[in-house]
């Protein structure tokens, strides 16, 4: 049984529990998880919250890593059976029902946000599952009863990740081209609540939020302050991935407006203006400033993604 250490755990950002579990699973299996993060420039507007995460069902692990991802509803016996098949599981749960989860990180659960933990083994002697929660910085064990207690349903809902017996041969340049093209295409779609359109939907809600009761308005602002902080952290991390693949220079692409540094500054300004908006919701000029900064973020991100797509094509042509 492999002994897991903190060095095995990849923690992305506070609201990136699924992606953190997946990158940890990839890392534990010796895969280069940077390829996963290469295509993880996401945005979505869900339940009044702007965030960078993507639902697990939309994450492609097979084309690059050969990992088969399947959703199950079952029991602890099903988990044990999957572990015997060398699978690793992402289990959907309520973070508030996990004894080890920090109480100060539970503010989003009331809005319908659920949590994932990673189940990677089973200790027959103690009768406990071996689990990792990257967001809670936790490596430990849970019994059958504890899993049922935190489950989002009466049964256990989990995704099994089945890794191929032999690591899939990755064509480095093909993956870069594929993921940079996919990032731009997803960002520019206009008929969903994802990508650049997520920013537009969030921006449109600002004026209406100003008219809402103070408790509701403050909860919306606080929730989005947390989620935008996660966006900032994940953008910075993914920027380092792009640099490691020589898609970006250390100082950003020729200091253009669509650089990682500029994007992080814009998102940070949005978060600062949100705090001012919380204190002065009747200040119409703040809403105007916020919407202008959000448009600047959207334009800068689209410019960066287009730049990366061109760089990805250039690398394939060399």
Mean pLDDT of 219-229: 93
Identify the bridge partners of residue 161 per DSSP, sorted by sequence position: 69, 88
Q: Look at residue 193 in the predicted model and tell me its pLDDT.
A: 86
- CA dist 252 and 236 (Å) reads 12
CA distance 198 to 75: 36
Q: Residue 254: pLDDT above 60?
A: no
Is the pLDDT at 252 greater than 60, yes or no? Answer: no
Give the pLDDT of residue 315: 78
Confidence band for 296, pLDDT divided at 50, 70 and 90: very high
- Of 89-98, 188-197, 202-211, the range with the lowest mean pLDDT is 188-197
| pLDDT for res 317 | 67
Confidence of residue 147 (pLDDT cuts 50, 70, 90): very high
Whose tokens are 């990677």? That residue is: 120
- Please give the mean pLDDT across all residues of the chain: 91
Tokens in use for 49?
């919250």
Q: Mean pLDDT across the stretch 20-45?
A: 94
Give the span between the Cα atoms of 223 and 241, in whole angstroms.
27
Nearest C-alpha neighbor of 158 from the set 86, 75, 96, 100: 75
Residue 256 has pLDDT above 60, yes or no: no
Structure confidence by residue, pLDDT tens digits, 159-171: 999 999 887 778 8
pLDDT for residue 253 is more than 50: no
Among the residue ranges 54-58, 177-181, 309-313, the one predicted with the least confidence is 54-58
Q: Can you give the pLDDT at residue 192?
A: 79
Residue 309: band (very low, low, confident or very high) from pLDDT cuts 50, 70, 90: very high
> pLDDT by residue (tens digit) across 16-27?
999 999 999 999
Q: Is the pLDDT of residue 180 over 70?
A: yes
Mean pLDDT in residue range 211-220: 92
User: What span, in angstroms and rounded, lies between the C-alpha atoms of 119 and 80?
Assistant: 10
> Is the predicted pLDDT of residue 1 greater than 60, yes or no?
no
How far apart are the C-alpha atoms of 13 and 206, rounded to whole Å? 25
């Amino acid at each position: 049984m492999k002994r897991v250490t903190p060095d095995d755990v990849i923690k992305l950002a506070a609201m990136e529990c699924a992606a953190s579990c997946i990158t940890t699973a990839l890392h534990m299996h010796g895969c280069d998880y940077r390829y996963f993060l290469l295509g993880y420039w996401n945005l979505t507007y869900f339940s009044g919250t702007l965030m960078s995460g993507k639902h697990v069902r939309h994450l492609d692990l097979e084309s690059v890593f050969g990992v088969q991802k399947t959703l199950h509803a079952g029991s602890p016996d099903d988990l044990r059976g999957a572990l015997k098949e060398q699978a690793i599981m992402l289990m959907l749960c309520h973070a508030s029902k996990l004894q080890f989860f920090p109480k100060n990180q539970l503010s989003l659960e009331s809005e319908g946000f659920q949590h994932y933990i990673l189940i990677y083994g089973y200790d027959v002697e103690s009768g406990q599952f071996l689990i990792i929660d990257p967001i809670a910085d936790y490596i430990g064990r849970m019994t059958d009863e504890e899993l049922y207690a935190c489950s989002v349903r009466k049964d256990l809902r989990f995704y099994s990740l089945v890794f191929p017996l032999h690591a899939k041969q990755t064509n480095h340049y093909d993956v870069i081209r594929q993921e940079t093209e996919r990032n731009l295409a997803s960002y520019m779609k206009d008929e969903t609540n994802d990508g650049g359109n997520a920013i537009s939907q969030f921006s449109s809600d600002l004026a209406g939020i100003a008219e809402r009761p103070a408790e509701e308005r403050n909860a919306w602002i606080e929730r989005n302050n947390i989620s935008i902080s996660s966006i900032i952290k994940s953008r910075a991390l993914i920027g380092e991935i792009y640099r490691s693949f020589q898609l970006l220079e250390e100082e950003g692409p020729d200091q253009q407006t669509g650089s990682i540094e500029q994007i992080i500054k814009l998102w940070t300004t949005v978060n600062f203006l949100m705090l001012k908006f919380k204190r002065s919701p009747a200040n119409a000029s703040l809403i105007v400033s916020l919407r202008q900064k959000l448009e600047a973020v959207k334009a800068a991100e689209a410019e960066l993604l287009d730049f990366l797509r061109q760089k990805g094509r250039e690398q394939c042509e060399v």
